[in-house]
Each structure stands twice: as structure tokens, then as C-alpha cells.
């Protein structure tokens, strides 16, 4: 059977593929999403959801469901060579979100339900058998229970994991290596006095290999944990070089023996729901793009699970790519915008691979103060990337720069709205948002309305203009301008704003333009990279 239907095929319906499909739909583009598995895996592979990913999920509209399904990770208790180290609590109260623990199967459920609500559906039991790029588009062959199906798409995105069929079809090198050791993973109940939300690691460092270890990450159910350790002796190392190998190869008795050896008090483990051994590799795709085919998530980067970075990095790959791809498909952006996906995201993947490898190989030997924001992904930035412009004679070092994540700000007020707003409330959505800090004078009001008319005339509804004014400012309603008052001064502190400071924030929450003062020429140059001018 041969057919041409939707413009985009997403291969893989894990968290990354589901995020991509849902974000494409939110930006007005339907896609086809397939997965070779008949049903989602029941294993708790990824758990941690970083503060930055929760911001992404808030914009998507599912953060509340994620919080309800998870448990906040409040800190870490360490036992090194039998010595209990004082608990290290995670104080992230200055961020919109803390660190959340959600089993991967729950993340996938929430994202799949979200996709279903907005009109998408995952087609299961369908595997990619072949892929080639032609003048017509990307021709694929799909294996289904009914036989072989052929179809052509404008774009294909491989979100199909470490053993990606899409990456193999493109013959893209997956550079790196694998640890020679096998590890064990399990979902168990533990009877101990560890406070809810605390993680535990008990380690005995070794000079010639990984530490003897027992690591327990809390799950939402009380007294349940996902535990990991070196695989018990006698379990053969085989199969693939990354990921879960096979279920049922590790017993509760073997898990208990490791806990007895390393954890003070020898807490009792019970009710083993599943266990597997798994392997760890450190690999990075040589390219994230080949023609009209892209890679995201584990198809592009795999690394040790230290810090819970893998799934989160993949979700943010998808969040970065979706708005760009949707813009191009809708004719709202030049095709060259898609070049920025690899330029922005591959350095992030490379940094995560290198950092998690270093963290893993120094696990239990950390020295000095641990950077509390290191694993939050709040500081992921594209300052050296190709998109955007920064123009100013002097920029405070603490101010957000072009390519940085746009920080939130609290206590904003808008006329006729009887409750304070967050800046994230204003940024939420699929448009670009131009933030201008200005005064309330008549000249400023006229300038703002003229700027809004210019933006609408060139870009339609793709850009919203938001004016941020001082506390108590009285301004008559302006045409096509949202006016907010910085009643608590939080915006001024977060953005180091001055009169006529301008920030253009992309749909993925990153700063595309930063001007002190803003200029129409600077805005036009920036928007010319990411939007097409209306005819």
C-alpha cells in the first residue's frame, strides 16, 4: 500500500515523541506518530523531571497533572564507606518549580492523554522498516500487522531511542563507547525511616571500576523506590550496549543482599514489581539532521542516568524543534530556521554526555560545594547560537542575554484583572512575545502603538507586544498592546530593565533579541531570521 497523508512522521511514542507530536499540534500542525510496541513499557526507567522541563510542561498545559502524579525530590542522603553524610536538601525555592519524581510510564500516560485531547493518536505495532529521501519528500516503508505500508512525508523525526531505526537508516555515526559493567534496576518497597521525597545512595568507591552502590529514588507511592546497583555476580553481560536488557534477571534476594551490605540498619525490601539489568553507554550522534530527517532524544544522545538528564534533554529537544518545524510548514518562517535545531541542541547533548560521564566516574568522590543548579537545566542556553541579536553599549552581567532562558517574574498587575500575574502567564502560548520596559508618558504610548501596528503589519499575529511599566502607572487602553505594571519590582530585578529595554522571547521561552534600547532595525534583523514577512 502506498499513500501520502500528513506532512510529518514521528517515529517513537516515548516522552520525546509524544512531546513533539503534542507541540506540533499546539502550533497548528498535525502529524502521524507511530511506535513499534503494541503497548507502553511498564518499567520505571526515567524518573526525574527537572525544573526546566516542568516549565516546558506548564507551557504545554500538563504541569499540574505531572505534579499530581509525582513526588517532589527534596534531598539526598549519602552513606560513603558506611559513614552517614548529613542530608543535603535541595532548596530550589527561587525557581518556579522544584525537582519532581514521576515514573516514566506515568509521564507517557499524561502526554498520551494530552495528545488525545488535542486530536492526536499514537499508532502502535508499527515499525519503521526503511527510509530514503527523494525529490518528493521522505519515503518510508512501515511494517504493520497487516503487512507493509509505504508513505511519503515532508519531514520525519526519529524519537525512537538508543537503537534508533531512523538513525540507522540515515547511517549517522553514533560516536562514543559503553561501560563494560552491567547494572541492576528494580521497583521495590523499602521499610526504613527515610523521609518521603528523599533519595538515598550508599556507596563503597572502588579504584578500578564503579562503586559498589545501592541507589534508591523515591516513587510517588509511599515507601516505594526505584533502586539501582551493580548487577549481581553470575549475570551474563550480553544483549545491546545501552538500556534495559531483559526482565526477571535479578531477584529480590539479590537486591536485598546489596542493601544488607551497604545500607545501615539493613532495611527490608519487599514486593518486587519488576527488575532488570541494564547497560550504560555514552554516545552522541554525529548529526541531528540529514535533509528533511531529524533525530531527538535518545536517538541523538545517550549517557549515564546521573542527575536525571536524559529524558529531560530529549523533551527539550522536541520543544525546540516543534515550533520551528511548525513555523516552516505553515509558511510563517524561512526553511533555514530548521538549521538552528542542530546548532542549538547538539552542543547541549554533548555537554550532558560529558558531564554525566564525569559525574558517574567521580560518584562518591565529589569535592567542594555541589552546584545546586547543575542538574536543573535552568541554565541551558544558546548564547553562541545562530539566532537572534543583542545590541547595547553596556549590558549588566546579571541580566538575561540573547540565547538565555527568559526568567519568570512575579507580582505583575493588569487593569481589570483582580489578581497578580506571573510573566510566564503572559509568555504562555505559541507566539513570540516582545517585552518592552517603558514609561507611561504620552510619547511612549504613541511609540508603543506604532510599534504594535508595525509588528502586526509585517508578521500578523505571530508577535505580541507587552509593555512593562512602573508600579502605579496609569495608562489608557492601548491598541494591540498588553500593558502590565511591575508592582513588586520583580521584573526589573530579573531583567535589569531600563527605559526602552526590549526582549523578544521565542515560543520555547528563550530570548531571541535583547536591546538597550530596542531598535526597530534590531528587531527586524532578528525577526527576519525566524519569521517571514506577510505579503
Query: pLDDT (tens digit, 9 = 90+) per residue, 412-424?
Result: 999 999 999 999 9
* DSSP label of 194: P
88-110 mean pLDDT = 94
**What is the pLDDT at residue 2?**
43
Average pLDDT, the chain: 92
pLDDT of 368 strictly over 70 = no
Element (H, E) at 444: helix 442-459
pLDDT of 236 strictly over 60 = no
32, β-bridge pairs? 9
pLDDT tens for 488-504 read 999 999 999 999 999 99
Residue 517: other Cβ atoms inside 10 A: 15
Q: Which residue has the cell 502607572?
A: 473
Please, what is the end-to-end C-alpha distance for the chain in angstroms? 40
* 333 closest CA partner among 30, 29, 16, 57: 29
**What is the pLDDT at residue 100?**
97
**What is the pLDDT at residue 3?**
46
Report whether 294 contacts 155 (CB < 8 A).
Answer: yes
**% pLDDT > 90, the chain:** 80
Q: Which residue has the cell 509558511?
A: 331
* 197 closest CA partner among 355, 290, 76, 308: 76
Q: Model's pTM, two decimal places? A: 0.95
* CATH architecture of structural domain 389-530: 3-Layer(aba) Sandwich (3.40)
6-14 mean pLDDT = 95
Q: Which residue has the cell 555476580?
A: 233
**What is the pLDDT at residue 244?**
61
pLDDT tens for 167-209 read 999 999 999 998 888 888 999 999 999 999 999 999 998 877 7
**What is the pLDDT at residue 4?**
44
Q: Which residue has the cell 506532512?
A: 7
Question: Residues 6 or more apart from 228 whose CB is under 8 A from it?
Answer: 183, 184, 185, 186, 213, 215, 217, 305
Grid coordinates belonging to 119: 486530536
pLDDT of 80 strictly over 70 = yes
pLDDT of 238 strictly over 60 = no
**What is the pLDDT at residue 235?**
55
Topology at the third CATH level for domain 183-279 = Alpha-Beta Plaits (3.30.70)
- DSSP helix/strand/coil, 297: helix
pLDDT tens for 452-475 read 999 999 999 999 999 999 999 999
* 387 closest CA partner among 268, 530, 502: 530
Q: Which residue has the cell 519487599?
A: 270
Pairing of strands 174-178, 155-158: unpaired
- DSSP helix/strand/coil, 128: strand
9-13 mean pLDDT = 98
Question: Residues 6 or more apart from 374 whose CB is under 8 A from it?
Answer: 307, 355
Q: What is the rounded distance in angstroms from the CA atom of residue 100 to the CA atom of residue 53?
A: 10
2-43+55-60+103-173+284-361 CATH choice from 3.40.50.1360, 3.50.50.60, 3.40.50.300, 1.10.357.10: 3.50.50.60
* 505 closest CA partner among 444, 450, 429, 439: 429
95-108 mean pLDDT = 96
Amino acid at each position: 500500500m502506498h499513500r501520502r497523508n500528513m506532512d510529518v512522521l514521528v517515529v517513537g511514542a516515548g516522552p520525546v515523541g509524544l512531546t513533539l507530536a503534542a507541540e506540533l499540534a499546539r502550533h497548528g500542525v498535525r502529524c502521524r506518530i507511530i511506535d513499534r510496541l503494541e503497548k507502553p513499557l511498564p518499567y520505571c526507567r526515567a524518573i526525574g523531571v527537572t525544573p526546566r522541563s516542568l516549565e516546558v510542561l506548564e507551557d504545554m498545559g500538563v504541569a499540574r497533572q505531572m505534579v499530581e502524579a509525582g513526588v517532589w525530590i527534596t534531598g539526598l542522603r549519602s552513606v560513603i564507606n558506611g559513614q552517614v553524610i548529613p542530608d543535603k536538601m535541595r532548596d530550589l525555592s527561587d525557581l518556579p518549580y522544584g525537582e519532581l519524581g514521576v515514573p516514566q510510564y506515568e509521564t507517557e500516560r499524561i502526554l498520551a492523554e494530552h495528545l488525545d485531547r488535542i486530536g492526536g493518536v499514537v499508532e502502535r505495532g508499527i515499525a519503521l522498516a526503511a527510509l530514503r529521501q527523494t525529490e518528493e519528500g521522505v519515503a518510508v516503508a512501515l511494517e504493520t500487522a497487516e503487512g507493509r505500508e509505504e508513505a511519503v512525508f515532508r519531514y520525519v523525526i526519529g524519537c525512537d531511542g538508543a537503537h534508533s531505526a531512523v538513525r540507522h537508516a540515515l547511517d549517522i555515526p553514533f560516536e562514543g563507547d559503553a561501560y563494560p559493567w552491567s547494572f541492576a534496576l528494580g521497583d521495590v518497597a523499602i521499610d526504613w525511616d527515610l523521609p518521603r521525597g528523599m533519595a538515598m545512595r550508599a556507596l563503597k568507591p572502588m579504584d578500578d571500576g564503579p562503586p559498589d552502590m545501592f541507589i534508591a529514588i523515591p516513587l510517588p507511592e509511599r515507601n516505594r523506590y526505584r533502586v539501582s546497583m551493580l548487577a549481581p555476580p553470575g549475570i551474563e553481560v550480553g544483549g545491546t550496549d545501552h538500556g534495559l536488557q531483559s526482565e526477571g534477571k535479578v531477584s529480590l534476594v539479590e537486591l536485598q543482599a546489596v542493601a544488607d551490605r551497604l545500607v545501615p540498619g539493613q532495611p527490608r525490601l519487599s514486593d518486587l514489581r519488576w527488575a532488570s539489568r541494564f547497560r550504560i553507554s555514552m554516545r552522541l550522534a554525529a548529526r541531528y539532521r540529514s535533509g528533511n530527517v531529524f533525530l531527538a532524544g535518545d536517538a541523538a544522545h545517550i549517557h549515564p542516568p546521573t542527575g536525571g538528564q536524559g529524558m529531560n534533554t530529549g523533551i527539550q529537544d522536541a520543544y525546540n524543534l516543534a515550533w520551528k518545524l511548525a513555523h516552516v510548514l505553515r509558511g510563517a518562517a524561512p526553511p533555514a530556521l530548521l538549521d538552528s535545531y542542530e546548532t542549538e541542541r547538539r552542543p547541549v547533548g554533548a555537554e550532558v554526555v560529558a558531564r554525566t560521564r564525569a559525574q558517574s566516574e567521580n560518584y562518591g568522590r565529589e569535592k567542594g560545594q555541589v552546584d545546586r543548579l547543575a542538574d536543573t537545566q535552568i541554565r541551558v542556553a544558546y548564547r553562541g547560537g545562530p539566532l537572534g541579536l543583542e545590541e547595547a553599549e553596556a549590558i549588566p552581567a546579571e541580566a538575561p542575554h540573547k540565547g538565555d532562558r527568559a526568567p519568570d517574574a512575579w507580582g505583575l498587575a493588569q487593569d481589570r484583572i483582580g489578581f497578580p500575574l506571573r510573566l510566564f502567564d503572559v509568555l504562555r502560548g505559541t507566539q513570540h512575545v516582545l517585552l518592552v520596559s517603558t514609561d507611561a508618558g504620552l510619547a511612549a504610548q504613541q511609540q508603543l502603538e506604532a510599534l504594535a501596528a508595525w509588528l502586526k503589519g509585517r508578521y500578523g499575529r505571530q508577535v505580541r507586544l507587552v509593555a512593562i511599566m512602573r508600579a502605579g502607572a496609569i495608562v489608557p487602553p492601548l491598541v494591540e498592546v498588553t500593558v502590565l505594571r511591575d508592582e513588586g519590582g520583580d521584573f526589573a530585578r530579573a531583567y535589569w530593565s531600563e527605559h526602552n529595554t526590549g526582549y523578544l522571547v521565542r515560543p520555547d521561552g528563550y530570548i531571541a533579541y535583547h536591546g538597550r534600547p530596542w531598535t526597530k532595525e534590531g528587531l527586524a534583523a532578528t525577526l527576519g531570521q525566524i519569521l517571514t514577512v506577510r505579503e
